[in-house]
Structures are given as structure tokens and as C-alpha cells.
Amino acid sequence: MPLSRRTLLASLTLTGAGAVAAPAATASAHGTGEAARALARLLPRHTDQVTFRTTARRDGADVFRVLGGAGALVVEGTTPAVQLTGLHRYLRHTARASFSWNGAQTRLPARLPGVAEPIVRRANVRHRFVFNDTNEGYTGPYRTWERWEHTLDVLALHGYNEVFLSLGADAVLHRVFQEFGYSAAELSAWTPGPAHQPWWLLQNMSGFGGPVTRQLLDARAALARRVADRARALGMTPVLPGYFGTVPPGFADRNPGARTVPQGDWCGFRRPDWLDPRGEVFARVAARFYAVQGELLGTSGMYKMDLLHEGGQAGDVPVGEAARAVETALRTARPGAVWALLGWQNNPRKEILDAVDRDRLFVVDGLSDRFPDVTDREADWGGAPYAFGSIWNFGGHTAMGANTPDWAELYETWRTRPGSALDGIALMPEGADNNPAALALFSDLAWTEGRVDLAEWFAEWPAYRYGTGPGGRADPYAVAAWDVLRRTAYGTTRADSWSEPHDGLFGARPGLTVTTAASWSPGRLRYDPEEFARALPALLAVAPALRTGSGYRYDLLDVTRQVVSHRSRQLLPRIRAAYEAKDRARFTELTAEWFRWMELLEKAVATDPGHLLGRWTAEARSWGSSREERDRLAHDAETLLTVWGPRQAADEGGLRDYANREWSGLVSGLYTLRWRTYFDGLDAALAEGREPEPVDWYALEEKWLREHPPCATEPTGDIVAIAAQVRDALGLKAPAPQGR
């Protein structure tokens, strides 16, 4: 008998993928339990001052409560992850400390302060979903367990209970299709390198960056199991990929009765075929997929899959009947599971929604804060439950900013209107490793009663991001800096049909008229760069005692990087004017200034370990068992950030620089090489009175990828000194301090 929506969602939230909430409040002694172990990792000096307790849900909702005196805190919550959410709320608003995936503020007294009044919060939605389908590629396809462990801790601290995990799917598919007529070698060649696997799982491409070795598959499966098990132990649901019909080449020839539909091309790649889900062969493949996945990774209460993603072709297969067959396979293997789909372009299609049980779907909307005409998701999706979602970067760009006014206005309006089906948030930047303020603010939506007051929120942010000064108050210059950022980078809205900030032009393929580095990113400035720059001297004026934390240093780097990045958009039109006027002296002067700013940008990003191409590449190499494999994995990882794929995908498909990053090694390496080659060509053309020679950019980029020397894996330099150099070069003055 089908479960009702309330019963199904309560079951999913209560049990996740194996974590069971206690029916009554029970104490957890110091040093035991998943929340206590996380505290020991995060604040080892204070582990004996916090006791965690598990408590029952309130009307099916997750809740936490923090109480107790100095040095004797009690944190109650419905799961270990929710307990950590409560702890983080206390740290932010009482102890003035915080954690993020970029930096932390952990200067705390030896004895933690007590709570005058209990801190009590109830989640206003059941689902707090995190990660884009692309996350595994753009955030770190070769991450270690230590980085995954910290990521899960940070997500728990921010209140998430559903974590999309594509890691390990390669091992599942590799094993399954050996049962359907393929050799291990054929499947290894069909499987892309780890950096490109998200798009293979989306049925967009295959093979590029491979072949993968058995050693690599086994290692990734082992890590995936460890990550999934930790999520379960925290009371979080590891959301796993479901099976919807992707098959290797020639599948119908090897499996009598199978019928496949060619999927055409995607951005210059040939897409894998789609197995018609209505047939008996699909049912057998799906059954083996879920069985093998369960053996390797465990089971889940939620599976994510999207039929016919970004232009997939149904052929003569009725989409509704196909969706019903996909649903049947999922329900047969995992009777109580929810089917998650991405709200993106025309997905999920109406034929899918009309054919399946909408109450057992969950749509994670990627366009809630993107287009102004997205206003009624109940009508769009027939009342299917959905999450308010945000994608604030594409390709993992390093640019700061997000449409936070839309979050504050739309989330509460949509959630509380009559007949609302909104029952979640979905944090889905394509690369989840930047914009810590956006992470914190978006996460708070699910734990805030009423509408978030942005002015108040941003005024509070510096206190727990950097700590407080005398009297327990936020530094007034820090408050002034973040007020500038609130009104500029974090003050954009979907009125212009964008959800991501503009990227910089230092990372673009050169041209005098380029307006963006990535093909599908904003071509115009989304806020005033001169106003934004006022945040830099304000951050530099913050009291020295508050400048030592990693949170402050990351933010100072981010603002410095963005200020320098803006110089590319301001300089290029002047360089073009000088070239078109055939003023060679002016052209030489301006291009020299261009490279001085690129050198400063390189120095700034070299100060942070998360902005090092060398670290990204070294992580990839660490997974190889031979020199050949290490070289192949490094190329897989670096290609994603540059040309993305082969020439056709890079040039005709438009994917080159889709994942551009202002990172050390890229700025001083490929980006400087490209612009120097280009400007030298223009200068020669001016000197000789001719048209410039064309450049084969793909050949230059691929040659650099194959031959560039190793990049630094350890940070260098002092961001405070470099930021001051940028401030002085631009003559910037700090805005008046606030909050004295």
C-alpha cells in the first residue's frame, strides 16, 4: 500500500539511511557519540564542557535546544547533525565563533560562556539538501577522507540532513555491466576520469579522462562507503544516484530484447545511449544496479536521477511510461525511497510528473533565485514537494556574491503561501568551496522564524566570523566592510536573469571585446566595482587582534582578489581603444599595467591553500599507482579547469574556461601565457602595420597542460601586506566605521 506524503517524509527524516532517533531524551557522555567526536575534531580543548543529548522531533520537525552555565553546556537535538547545528548556533551567537568550508574563528576562552536563556530552534522544512550534481567534479574529485570528514562536519554545523554523493558510482556501474556482456577493460575505457564523472552520470558524455584502473575504482568505492557511513552516523541521508537507463555502447547487440535510444551530442561530446526503461532488460539492469550499490555503498532513503537531462532524446519512447518504469524499478529495490529530481531548464518534464507518484518525488530547484518569471512552482510541478534552491556559481568560479535579497524575500513568501509545496532548501553551487557568507545565510533560512533581515544578518556576521573586541562587540570597520559587501556582491537580484556573479577577464581566452571568461556567465558587471572596492580598506582597518583567524584572512583574500579581478574589466576597454587608435605607446603602457595587476593577483591567491592549482593537481596524482596513471589523473583534473575536454568540446561546445578559477598557477601560468601571446601579437601587428596573426588557442592550452612545470602546493606570502599594496595602488579609503 503506498505511503502517504506525511508518513513517507516522516519516515525518511526519522531514519535517514539508517540513523534512528531516540523516542525520548537520552544523555550522551563526554567524548562519546558522533556529535561529541565532531566536537573533539573542531574544538579539542573544550570537549569536556559540552554534553549532547538526543531528543524527539516536534511534530515531525528537527529541533535543537542549547542551555547550561559556563563550562557546562547541554546541547539537545534530534540527530547528531542537528545537535551540531545547535552547537554552531551557540558558538555564533553566544561564544562568537564559527566554522565554514573557508576559514574559521576559534579564539575562545578556556571556559565556554553559559547561556542566559535556552537557545531553541525548530527547522521550518524537513529537507535541507546540499550539493549539485557537478559538485564532485568542480569542488574536488580527488579529495581525501580528511577533507570529506571536515566537509561533513561543516554541513552538519549548518543544519543539512541530505547530502548528494556521486562518489563511488563508477565502481557500481563497472561491476554491474560486467554482468551484461562487457569486459572490465571495455568498461574502464567507457568510464571517464573522476573529474569528469558527474557528466557521465548525467548521461552527457563518457570516456574522457580515462581509462580508470581497478585500483582507482576500489579506492574510490572504499572512500565513498566511508563518507556515506559517516553521513548516516550523523543522522544525515546520503543521497545516492539512481538508475534511469545509461548504458555502454552496443548494449542492445549484446543483450537480446534490449532497446536503446541514441542521445545525440552534448557540448561536443557523444552522449551514451539510453536503455528503454519499459523493457524487461532495464528491470534486470536496475535490479543489479541497486543490489551492487547497496553492497558497496549501503542503501538510502533518497535517490537522485534525471531523465533526458539538457537535451536528451526520448525518440519514440513515451516519456511518462519510461518514468513510470524507472519509478517501479526504484520502488522494487527501495520501497520507501524518495525520488529526487533537479529543477533545471524544462526538467522535470510534465510527462514525468503526470505519470508517477508526485507525493514521493522531491524537486531540488536550481532556478529559484535565477529568473524573475519563476514564481509558482506548485503550478509548474503539479504540487510535488520541492526545495527552494540556489546555484550561486557555475563551474566553481571564485567570484564573490549571491542574490541574497531574493533569498530573504522569496523563501518565506513561497513557504508560507496557501497550498505551498515548498518543504526544503537546496544549496547547489556547482563548486561548493567558496562564498562562506552565502553558505551561512542560505543555511539559516531553514532555521529562522519569519523573514531574514539582511541588514541585521550582515551586521552580525563579522562578530562570529572574526570574533569581537572590547565589550563583546563586532569591530566597527568589519561591520562597515560587510555592509558594503551586502549592498554590492551580495545585493544582486534575479531581475537581470542571473544567479551568479560576473567572472574576471584575466582568465578569459584573449580578445579585445571579450566580456566574460566562461561562455554562459554574465557579460556585464552585476554591481558597482568602485563601491565594492571600499570594503578592502575597511577590512584592513579591522583591529589587529581580530586579523589572525583563518576566517578573516580568507575574506581579506577574497575581497582583494575580487578588487584586482575588476581591474581586468576596467582596463580592457582602454587597451582596445589604444589599439584601435594605433597608439602603440599607450598600448604598451596599458598592457604593462595589465600584467602588473595579474602579478598582484597571483601573489594574493598564492597565500591561500585553497587557491593553489598545485594542490588540486597533487591531490589527483596521489590517487595514481603508477607514473602513467598519476599523469593521466593530473591531466583529468587540470583539463576540467581549462579546456574542459577535447577541441570540439572546448571550442564548438563552448566549454573552455567554464570552470575558470583565479588560482595561483593558473594566473601566473596559462592565463598570463595567453594574454602575453595575444598582446605580443597585437603589438607586432601595430609595429608592422598589419593584421595580427591568428592563434590556435586550444593547441597552446593543451601544450601548456602537458608541459607546464609543477605548481606550488604550499601557500606563500602575507595577504595583509598584499592587500595593503592593492589598497595603496588604488588610493582606496575606508568607509566610516559602524556599530561603535
Percentage with pLDDT > 90 across the chain: 93
Q: What is the mean pLDDT of residues 271-292?
A: 98
pTM: 0.95
Per-residue pLDDT tens over the stretch 405-433:
999 999 999 999 999 999 999 999 999 99
214 and 184 Cβ atoms separated by less than 8 Å: yes
CATH number of 127-452: 3.20.20.80
Q: How far is 276 from 279, CA to CA, in rounded Å?
A: 6
pLDDT at 193 over 60: yes
* pLDDT classification of 10: cutoffs 50, 70, 90: very low
Which parts of 276-317 are beta strand (E)?
302-304
Per-residue pLDDT tens over the stretch 472-503:
899 999 999 999 999 999 999 999 999 999 99
Per the prediction, the chain carries an average pLDDT of 94
Q: What is the mean pLDDT of residues 77-88?
A: 98
Per-residue pLDDT at 27: 42
Alpha-carbon distances of 288 from 176, 178, 245, rounded to whole Å: 6, 11, 12
Q: Would you mind telling me the total number of residues written for the chain in this entry? A: 740
SS3 624: coil
| Domains of the chain, residue spans | 22-56+63-121, 127-452, 454-493+525-574+718-740, 609-714
Per-residue pLDDT at 734: 84
- For 603, the grid coordinates are 601573489
Residue 339 parent element (H or E): strand 338-343
Per-residue pLDDT tens over the stretch 337-388:
999 999 999 899 999 999 999 999 999 999 999 999 999 999 999 999 999 9
Per-residue pLDDT tens over the stretch 536-549:
999 999 999 999 99
What angle in degrees, to the nearest 10, is found between the helix axes of 80-90 and 145-157?
A: 70
Specify the pairing of strand 260-261 against strand 104-105: unpaired
Fold of 22-56+63-121: Chitobiase; domain 2 (3.30.379)
pLDDT at 21 over 80: no
Q: What is the mean pLDDT of residues 319-332?
A: 98
436 and 92 Cβ atoms separated by less than 8 Å: no
Per-residue pLDDT tens over the stretch 434-452:
999 999 999 999 999 999 9
Per-residue pLDDT at 738: 83
Per-residue pLDDT at 29: 43
Per-residue pLDDT tens over the stretch 294-307:
999 999 999 999 99
Per-residue pLDDT at 471: 82
pLDDT at 736 over 60: yes
- Three-state SS sequence of 207-275: CCCCCCCHHHHHHHHHHHHHHHHHHHHCCCEEEEECCCCEECCCHHHHCCCCCEECCCEECCEECCEEE
